[in-house]
Every structure is written in C-alpha cells, then in structure tokens.
Structure 1
Amino acid sequence: MKDSIESIIFDLDGTLWDSTATIAAAWQEAVDQLDYVDRDITAEDVRGIAGMQYDAIYDKLFPSLKGKEREQLQKLCAKLELELLHERGGKLYPELEPTLKYLKEKYKLAIVSNCQSGYIEAFLKRHDLQPYFTDHECYGSRNLPKADNICEVIKRNNVQQAVYIGDTSGDFEASQKAQVPFILAAYGFGEVDAEVERIEKFSDLKRLF
C-alpha cells in the first residue's frame, strides 16, 4: 500500500483523539440553560453518535425537539462545545504526535470529519498540531457527506492516491464511495463488518508506512 499512497486522510473522533468527556460537559451545560430539555448528557451518549453528521446527532439525542427549540439547543451546544474544546481539548491517543511527525516526512496528512465548522481547528490549535496537516474538511463547512469531502481534499491537493483511516462503519462506507483504501482504527468507537486493514494502536501506522 505505502508504495502508491501520497496522502493519509484521517477521521478525527475515535481516530486521533477522544473528546467525548469535553463535549458531554459542554452539551450538558447547554441543556441546563434551557428549561424545555430534561435529560443528562454523558460521554457514552457522545460516543454513541460518533461519526454521524452533525445535524443527525440531534435527531438521535433529542428526537422530540422541533423548530425553534431544536435550533436554539443546537446553536448553544455548538457554541459551548467549541469554547470548551479550546479550553480543555480532548484526550490524544498514545504516540499521536511522534507518529504524525514520522508520517509527515513522507505523506500529505489531512483530516475529514462529520463535525461542525471550527471543530477540527479547535483540535489543531489546542494541541499545537497544525504543522502536521496539509488540509482538512468537515460536514459543517460544506454540508456535504464525508465521501464528497474526502474527494474534495484529494482533488484540491492534487493527490492521485490516498488512504482513509477511521473507526466506524460510516467511515468505511465513505471510503468505499470515495474509492480510496480504508484502514480501521480498531481502538476507536465503532466496528466494521468487513475484511479491512486495521491498527490496534495509532503508532502501528509506522509499521504500515
């Protein structure tokens, strides 16, 4: 694989970091500010929606909310989420930065996620990881599915062959639609019911590449 690959594109949540505790705290703060929402938000709740498009998350977690109430909650959650991520960040997976440094010497590195606009930037800035990545794209900036965003990153960086690394079945399906090879981050949040290359820890990428 490594002989033909020019770019490695990563999913974010469950692949590069685990921000579920920070996000849960932000969303709980938002819920506590609104008297028409009565539920607790846990890290497990956030883990359960990992990889979903940002709008779809609210369909799953708050199915009864409609119209202006739903819009208000979504905007407040988004605002507080970014604020808290810039303050606290998330939990980087072991050996993340040394492995990125190694890969950066040979490949263009990018991130494609189904997150809101500003989320990837918070990850990069809070943990000083901007120098390792050539590009990034997300659902929030273009309102397009992950496969389209993978293709966009490949196109605008003039890459002939890339690989996508993610941790959920949605990531795998997006890679298939984008027609790029897939590597499963088996330490992440999800599972893939297919025969795919897999890594048990992030530093395994040194072995593959």
Structure 2
Amino acid sequence: MVKALIFDMDGTLFQTNLILEQALEGAFDVLRKNNLWDGDTPIETYREIMGVPLPVVWETLCPSHSLEVREKSNAIFHKKLIELIKNRRGSLYPDVEFVLEKLGADHELYIASNGQIEYLKSIIDTYSLDRFIKKVYSIQSIPSGQKSDLVKMIVSENQITTGAVIGDRLSDIMAAKENGLTAICVNFDFAQEEELKQADKVLDYFIELL
C-alpha cells in the first residue's frame, strides 16, 4: 500500500503573495512602456483567479491582447518571480519544513502545481525541499492543462493507493475527488470561502495537517 500526500505549491507551501505583486508589476511595466496597457496592474484580478492554468491567467488579465503578447508577458513575469525567489524575497508558510519532515517518515510526498517547471525548481532549490519531496510535477507535463489529470498521472506512475491532495483552490479539491483521494484545503492567502466548503477538511494552520 502506497500512502501519498500530493501538495499544491502556490498559496499552500509557498507564500507567493510576498512576491506576486512585484513580479506582476514588472510584466505590466513592460506592457505600459510598449503602449499595450493603460492603467493599474490588475493584481486583485490575479489574486481571485490564482490556481487556474497559466493560459487562463493571461487570457483573463489581458483579454484583448494577442497570444504573442501574453506569452511574452508571462515570460517576463516568471523571470522576475524566479529572481525574487532566489533572492529569498518569498517564504514558505510557517511550519512547512517541520510538517513535511514529519509526514515524510511514513508517506510519499509529491508536488502537483500549475506552476512552470523552472519556477517550481527555483523554490525547491532555494528551500532544499527535495529533502522531503519525492518528485515535483508541473502542469506543463499534461496536454490538457488540468490539475485533475496531473494528479491522475501521479497516482498512476507511483501506484498510489491512498492519500490526499493538499491545496487551496477548487482545482485541488476536484483533483483529489476525481482521483479517489481526500481533499484537504488550507485557508491561506488565495483561498475562497465558497470553494473551501467543498473540501473534506479545511486547515487554518499548516501544522494542523499532522
């Protein structure tokens, strides 16, 4: 029997909110300089949709822009995010390392994230999370771009028989339920009250996971 815990990254293990605004400002500054954006950076819009696939993010933030502009904006955004992470401007949530170490003693730990591979690697490397995490899976490895399909792949590849998905948004909850796993949500920065109602368990503090 393989017991596993599959974690979301942004807003679950990593406090993305600490670097999100600065990185997004950087991307929209470039758009403004090229006369492709007029007005404030839509930071609150991004907070509301946090957890959706990246193409949906940029379709939402820049609905009237071309695919090329969206892709370039995304590249600038991620370059800034990685720079901030490596400079330790972000942070893990309290007790994350302690909890992962404890749980890793009798569970296989994985990450399933909508984040890009290079972005996730920067967090793993900066905080040495490979001490605890068996493997990191990015949404980039799934053609459908759906978190449920990503978790399905993790379950299949690793012959997982029981466990849970720990995240903060509806996509994490559905990924758990559609794959026969327990849906645990953290009530952190990007969590939405209506979505939390669909989880099997809601945590206000990460250490409650123990």
What is the rounded CA distance, in whole Å, between the counterparts of 1:107 and 1:67 in structure 2?
Answer: 41
What is the rounded CA distance, in whole Å, between the counterparts of 1:195 and 1:85 in structure 2?
Answer: 30
Within 5 Å, give how 1:20-31 maps onto structure 2. Answer: 20-31=17-28
Within 5 Å, give how 1:38-49 maps onto structure 2. Answer: 38-41=38-41, 44-49=44-49
Structure 1 equivalent of residue 200 of structure 2: 196
Deviation at 1:80, TM superposition (A): 2.5
Deviations 1:68-96 (A, max 9, x none): 32232222223332233222352321111
Q: Is the 8 A contact 1:10 1:16 kept in 2?
A: yes
Classify the secondary structure of the residue corresponding to 1:159. Answer: coil
What is the rounded CA distance, in whole Å, between the counterparts of 1:205 and 1:5 in structure 2?
Answer: 19
Structure 1 equivalent of residue 118 of structure 2: 118
- Per the normalisation by structure 2, the TM-score is 0.86
Q: Is the 8 A contact 1:23 1:85 kept in 2?
A: no
Structure 1 equivalent of residue 59 of structure 2: 59
What is the rounded CA distance, in whole Å, between the counterparts of 1:89 and 1:106 in structure 2?
Answer: 32
Q: 1:176 to 1:195 in 2, by over 3 A?
A: closer
Within 5 Å, give how 1:46-195 maps onto structure 2. Answer: 46-143=46-143, 144-191=145-192, 192-194=196-198
Q: 1:175 to 1:110 in 2, by over 3 A?
A: same
Q: Is the 8 A contact 1:6 1:107 kept in 2?
A: yes
Q: Is the 8 A contact 2:42 2:61 kept in 1?
A: no
Classify the secondary structure of the residue corresponding to 1:15. Answer: coil
Q: Is the 8 A contact 1:163 1:180 kept in 2?
A: yes
Match of 1:16 among 13, 16, 33: 13
Q: Is the 8 A contact 1:112 1:146 kept in 2?
A: yes
2:165 counterpart letter in structure 1: Y
RMSD value over aligned CA atoms? Answer: 2.1
User: How many residues are treated as equivalent by the alignment?
Assistant: 203
- Per the normalisation by structure 1, the TM-score is 0.87
Deviations 1:166-192 (A, max 9, x none): 111221122222221111112342232
What residue ranges of structure 1 are gaps of 5+ in the alignment?
Answer: none
Q: Is the 8 A contact 1:169 1:193 kept in 2?
A: no
What residue ranges of structure 2 are gaps of 5+ in the alignment?
Answer: none
Q: 1:73 to 1:104 in 2, by over 3 A?
A: same
Deviation at 1:194, TM superposition (A): 2.6
Moved more, 112-121 or 62-71: 62-71
Sequence identity, in percent?
A: 26
Deviation at 1:195, TM superposition (A): 5.8
Q: Is the 8 A contact 1:8 1:163 kept in 2?
A: yes
Deviation at 1:100, TM superposition (A): 0.9
What is the rounded CA distance, in whole Å, between the counterparts of 2:72 and 2:175 in structure 1?
Answer: 30
Q: 1:15 to 1:105 in 2, by over 3 A?
A: same
What is the rounded CA distance, in whole Å, between the counterparts of 2:163 and 2:7 in structure 1?
Answer: 10
Deviation at 1:45, TM superposition (A): 4.1
